[in-house]
């Protein structure tokens, strides 16, 4: 009986360490988590934005902390006009791409009240940074976000 109990404990420990290892690998290979967004022109921190898995299996992002914007979005139109920046959804419907990135989704930049096509969201620098490429018509811009530890 004692030998059987010890074997079970060893097996459970092994399974737990494998699960933690897989979770750690998933975290570094996935854009899910919190990111500091930077102003394209000045490089100043603007928000902490959280990327999360939506109910439909795609990725989405919303602002969870305001670092350098006005308290409310007076420039926004529609549902976000005059509302706090915190809670604004900035990316949605991001789907996995063959190259390991996410894309083919939608985006909204509240500081410019601009909707765009989220062409790609790709981890760089060993998962410490994220390149977010958005396009309006044929004009594309890439922003770099920094992972919040």
Which tokens sit at 99? 């190259």
Name the CATH code of domain 31-147 (choices 3.30.830.10, 2.40.128.520, 3.40.190.290, 1.10.260.40). Answer: 2.40.128.520
The pLDDT of residue 137: 92
Rounded distance between C-alpha atoms, residue 97 and residue 8, angstroms: 40
pLDDT in tens, the chain (149 residues): 555 544 444 433 433 333 333 333 334 589 999 999 998 788 899 999 999 999 999 999 999 999 989 999 998 999 999 999 999 999 999 999 999 999 999 999 998 999 999 999 999 999 999 999 999 999 999 999 999 97
pTM above 0.85, yes or no: no
The pLDDT of residue 140: 95
- By three-state DSSP, how is residue 113 classified? coil
Structural domain spans, the chain: 1-29, 31-147
Residue-by-residue DSSP string for 50-85: EEEE-TTS-EEEEEEEESSS-SB-SS--GGGTTSBS
Rounded distance between C-alpha atoms, residue 41 and residue 136, angstroms: 18
Rounded distance between C-alpha atoms, residue 80 and residue 61, angstroms: 15
Rounded distance between C-alpha atoms, residue 138 and residue 85, angstroms: 28
């Amino acid at each position: 009986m004692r030998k059987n109990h010890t074997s079970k404990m060893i097996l459970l420990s092994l399974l737990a360490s494998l699960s933690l290892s897989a979770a750690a690998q998933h975290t570094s290979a996935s854009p899910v988590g919190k990111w500091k967004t930077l102003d394209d022109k000045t490089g100043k921190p603007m928000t902490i934005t959280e990327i999360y898995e939506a109910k439909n299996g795609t990725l989405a992002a919303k602002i969870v902390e305001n670092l350098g914007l006005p308290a409310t979005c007076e420039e926004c139109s529609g549902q976000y006009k005059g509302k706090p920046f915190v809670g604004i959804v900035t990316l949605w419907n991001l789907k996995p791409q063959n190259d390991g990135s996410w894309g083919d989704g939608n985006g909204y930049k509240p500081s410019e009240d601009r909707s765009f096509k989220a062409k790609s969201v790709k981890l760089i620098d060993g998962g410490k940074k994220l390149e977010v490429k958005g396009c309006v018509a044929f004009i594309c811009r890439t922003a770099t976000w920094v992972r919040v530890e």
